[in-house]
Chain A
Amino acid sequence: MAITVVGLNHTTAPVAVRERLAFSDTTLAEALAHFRPREVQELVILSTCNRVEMYMQTSNVDASFTSCVAFFASYHAVPPTQFTPHLYQLSDLEAVRHLFRVASSLDSLVLGEPQILGQVKAAYFAAQAASRTGSIFAQLFERALSVAKAIRSETGISDHAVSVSYAAVELAKKIFESLQQRTVMVLGAGDTAELAARHLVQQGVTKVFIANRTSERAERLAQALQAKAIPWEAFPEHLTHTDIVISSTSAPHPIIDSAMVREALWARRSRPMFFIDIAVPRDVEPAVNTLENVFLYDIDDLQNVVQENRRARQREALAAEELVWREVRHFQQWLAGRDAVPTIVALRQRAEAIRLQELTKALHKFGPLDERQRRMLDTLTSGIVNKLLHAPTVYLKRSSDEGQVRDVVHLVRHLFDLDA
């Protein structure tokens, strides 16, 4: 028996291949029901936009690979030659480690992204609903989810924003604490500006003003964001009650200069202001950053922050990998203990059966014996059996701590003919 995973992901296969092998929610249930090769006892199918993976508890690792290829080819009607070069297979501890890394987002395109945990959980529940999981996968996936949660809370892998618009939101929170009751002004109606504004609204910003040179676009964006469109000429006077300015116009020269901001600051009694300038060429004069209580980040600054955050996530990933290894070893021990205990029980039962059988025969031959003599025979035979079984029992128990239990179990079952 072995745990194995067959699949492909964003590093091994281009999207053109991934999309052809992917399962939707409805086809997933179908696939779980239809993929029933003889060697596979438990099955979970994980299909996201970045990966398609079949996790299997199997009696034959190689046969299950072949079954997977055949199933992919027939179910999706894709010739095997188109996807087999992109497939990988990992087995035993490597497969366990892979699942733990996937669930913890260590194998993701964006390191530390939060969705994958939910996707792994959903994949397991779908398989459970289709009655394709048993006790080993129940334990395996429960541990995968808990290691992922531990990594999220104990390392900073998800703490650092890795997109420009999220980085801007994070910075805003380090200036303003809460974004509720803050006022945002969006200058220009570009996509990135819209995205940043959306994030801010999600964080509780209540008032958003939008100014654009062509008022129709401003109106349209205003509707999408439930914001208020203001005439382009009016934006300087609105600076006074604006905390965060997102600027992305196509103006060839800066539209906001130090004098303008200084005036606004005076009117707002130096309450802090945050300028997010994502326009190229820039919309806000760089000198604005030198004003007290004013913070200006242009697109390069934000990208630097994002890059630094990526590096920070990679540093955190090192700690996370260690946690994964530790949990893999714990799971291995659990698996081993699971194999050893029933073998010890079987061994004891078999020996006891033989002893009782032989004892009955002997008692029959001896003829009438008194109670004391009977007890002595009983003690004698149990003593011999126990002494003989002591060594193999200890050997089994110790091997489960050392992780080579499968071979030992196999040997003991064979030696004592326990599977007969």
Chain B
Amino acid sequence: MYNVLFHVILFAYLLASLLFWLYMGLQQRRIFQLASGLLVGGFALQTFSLGYRLSLQALPWWGEVATSRGLLSWAIIAVYLAAIWRYRIEALGSFIAPLAFLAAASAGIPVTTPVTWPLSVQDIWLSLHIVLALLGYAALTLMFCTGVMYLIQERQLKSKRPGAWYRYLPSLTLLDEVSAKALLLGFPFLTQGIVTGSVWAKYAYGSYLHWSLTSLPLLLAWLIYALLLGGRRALGWQGAKAARATVGGFVVILASYFVHTL
């Protein structure tokens, strides 16, 4: 049942992504509504499946949450729904839905050697680390999307040949604002994830440094985001510069995510 449900969710996200792209081309309101409906439906199912797992009680609840398949995609869509509810950026779905799908799909890739979670997964510290880090990743995914959208829109305006993209995407100011908010949300989560991770490493392996080998890209990404946050606050970095830093930071964080999970 859990498996079937997961594939239904996966399919809903895939279909939603394709529909969002179709909406980009055809600009018909009904397609957008259908895509949004599918995304929300998939999200509801995923929330339900999370609840189902919790009811099994094979692990303590934090362990259940942390080891739930596709939790990242769930977090990404949660952040997306919050953003769309607050800012009504219809173009956002075309960018973020495929990423949510990929996140879900990568969690579903059958692993040849079955993953045996270490006993320490029951450790609340590790679970907290995972959940917080995932929320941070989700906020940073949103930021990456607004960054890419910003760069496309900026290029449209600079080229003086505004085309279909120009109409589809919202204004630069709005994209920059959402990006700044996502950073404010994502950065503390990322930081907390790193701190709890290191605390857990201290308990598990007796050293704060043990995890740092696999998490080198994560540290690098953290540094980029810290610089961006500082730059935004103190030096008035905004617009194109911030968008480029956002995209760069996300590429690094993507690397760290895969180093961590694979």
- Residues of chain A whose beta carbon lies under 8 Å from any beta carbon of chain B: 156, 159, 171, 173-177, 269-272, 289, 292-293, 295, 297, 301, 304-305, 308
Contact = CB atoms under 8 A, between A and B. Distances in A.
B239 interface: yes
Given A175-B171, A289-B158, A295-B157, 11 more contacts: A159-B167, A171-B162, A174-B166, A175-B157, A176-B173, A177-B174, A270-B236, A270-B237, A292-B239, A308-B161, A308-B163
Contacts of A271: 236, 238
Given A171-B157, A304-B161, A293 B239 contact: yes
B172 interface: yes
Nearest to B27: A156
Contact of B162 (A156, A159, A270, A308): A308
B107 interface: no
B181 interface: no
24 contacts: A156-B167, A159-B167, A174-B153, A175-B172, A175-B173, A176-B172, A177-B170, A177-B171, A177-B173, A269-B235, A270-B238, A270-B239, A270-B241, A272-B172, A292-B239, A292-B240, A292-B241, A293-B240, A295-B158, A301-B160, A304-B160, A304-B161, A305-B162, A308-B162
B24 to A, nearest CB: 14
Interface in B163-216: 163, 166-167, 170-174
Q: Return the 6 tightest CB-CB contacts between A and B, nearest first.
A: A269-B236, A177-B171, A293-B239, A177-B173, A301-B160, A177-B174
A297 B27 CA distance: 27
Nearest to A175: B172
Contact of A176 (B161, B171, B238, B240): B171
Nearest to A301: B160
Nearest to B242: A270
Contacts of A297: 160
A301 B160 CA distance: 6
Contacts of A295: 157-158
B150 to A, nearest CB: 11
Contacts of B160: 297, 301, 304-305
A287 to B, nearest CB: 13
A270 B170 CA distance: 20
Nearest to A160: B167
A305 B160 CA distance: 8
Which of B158, B160, B174, B238: most chain A Cβ within 10 A? B160
Contacts of B153: 174
Contacts of A305: 160, 162
A174 B172 contact: yes
A175 B153 CA distance: 9
Contacts of B171: 173-177
